[in-house]
Amino acid sequence: MKYLTEFRDGELAKKLFVEIASLVTRTWTLMEVCGGQTHSIIRNGIDQLLPRQIQLIHGPGCPVCVTPVEQIDRALAIAALPKVTFCSFGDMLRVPGSHGDLFQVKSQGGDVRVVYSPLDAVKLARENPNSEIVFFAIGFETTAPANAMAVYQAKRLGLKNFSLLVSHVLVPPAMEAILNAPENSVQGFLAAGHVCSVMGYHQYPQLAKRFRVPIVITGFEPLDLLEGIRRAVLQLEAGQAFVENTYPRVVSLEGNRPAQDRIAEVFELTDRIWRGMGWIPKSGWRLREEYRGFDAEWKFELPDLPVVADTVCRSGEILRGTLKPNRCPAFGNSCTPRTPLGATMVSSEGACAAYFNYGRLIDLNLKSVPEVETASCPA
């Protein structure tokens, strides 16, 4: 398949592994901030084939995973209301809130539906004028254009029974929060190509300069990721820190201007709370005042709901990159895809789900890091 198979070439991957191994003279820690990249790394065993001096850790890159319990609880409360049809992408239905999940609301008679696009929810609103149709608008910069378009269309159609429960978050403020954290160990980032395809990457140079970290924009296939790692290691070994775009077939500096314009018309910046990371200033979007009638939180006037935190699940540490999934005591025991304790095990982009689904049930990297070595070419 064009743009896929050529980026999965095993011979080229071997050459990149060898070149990366030849570059390394000390230990480096890199973080990817995208659940799709995490799954590709784990599925292809990239982290295990790299020299042990290179540590890959997984950041808050899964949109389902970073949605806070507070917002899940609001979704449960709205979905349980009479004459409400609550629409969401499938992963969100199993994410636990303080007192259950959306599947449980559905089993108790709530009208909870899986849709494949926010525009499906707009269509439902047109076809069901006597019901309130609410769409759970979660995600990063990648899903915001479609959600903004849904609200724009609903307003243009004069729909009064359509609204969004908004939980949009932004990647650059989260990267800054990680770099500012006392426990931070990140020395370089693999930035998410799909986020940059929408927003461009003009926000990253100041982060790279201020924190002295290389930021390399990468894609999702094995060769994309290996080239991103190679570029990051080259910078680190040379004592450099700047932004590189290794995904030019998709990403440009300016990004997708029409999408940005639609987002700017409908949304405005706001502070957001992230699962495992707390409040991050100006790290999300909310609906602008002129679109407030489509804001489900405003429409349903929900009171503040007390959050019951899970004391066993350590997904917050996993999202901050301070804990690998298979070092969590609950991983694979009380927490599995069938019995998830947290969002990182539920979501198809979650780090815990990746480790479980691809057989990383134990941590093979608990051995101490050896002296500098030249890694052999992977088989």
d(CA 306, CA 304): 7
Q: Hey, is 351 helix, strand or coil? A: helix
User: Which residues partner with 167 through β-bridges?
Assistant: 138
Query: Above 80 in pLDDT, residue 377?
Result: no
Structure tokens at 195: 């986020």
* Segments in the chain forming alpha helices (H): 10-23, 35-43, 46-49, 63-66, 69-79, 102-107, 118-127, 144-156, 171-180, 193-199, 204-211, 222-237, 257-266, 296-300, 315-320, 343-346, 351-357
Beta carbons of 128 and 145 less than 8 angstroms apart? no
Q: What are phi and psi for residue 283, nearest 5 degrees?
A: -110, 15
Q: What are phi and psi for residue 227, nearest 5 degrees?
A: -65, -40
**Per-residue pLDDT band at 5 (split at 50, 70, 90):** confident
Give CA angle at 162 (160, 168), nearest 5°. Answer: 135
User: Does the predicted TM-score (pTM) go above 0.85?
Assistant: yes
pLDDT digits (tens, 9 = 90+) for 258-306: 999 999 999 999 999 999 899 999 999 999 999 999 999 999 998 888 8
Beta carbons of 121 and 135 less than 8 angstroms apart? yes
d(CA 141, CA 194): 9
pLDDT score for 364? 60
Q: What are phi and psi for residue 135, nearest 5 degrees?
A: -110, 135
Report in angstroms the alpha-carbon separations of 2 from 16, 72, 220, 299. 21, 39, 14, 46
Beta carbons of 183 and 29 less than 8 angstroms apart? no
d(CA 202, CA 320): 24
Beta carbons of 216 and 251 less than 8 angstroms apart? no
Task: Give residue 99's Cα distance to chain centre.
Answer: 24
pLDDT score for 311? 81
pLDDT score for 6? 87
pLDDT digits (tens, 9 = 90+) for 222-249: 999 999 999 999 999 999 999 999 999 9
Give the DSSP letter of residue 134: E
pLDDT score for 365? 56
Beta carbons of 164 and 147 less than 8 angstroms apart? yes
d(CA 337, CA 109): 25
pLDDT score for 249? 93
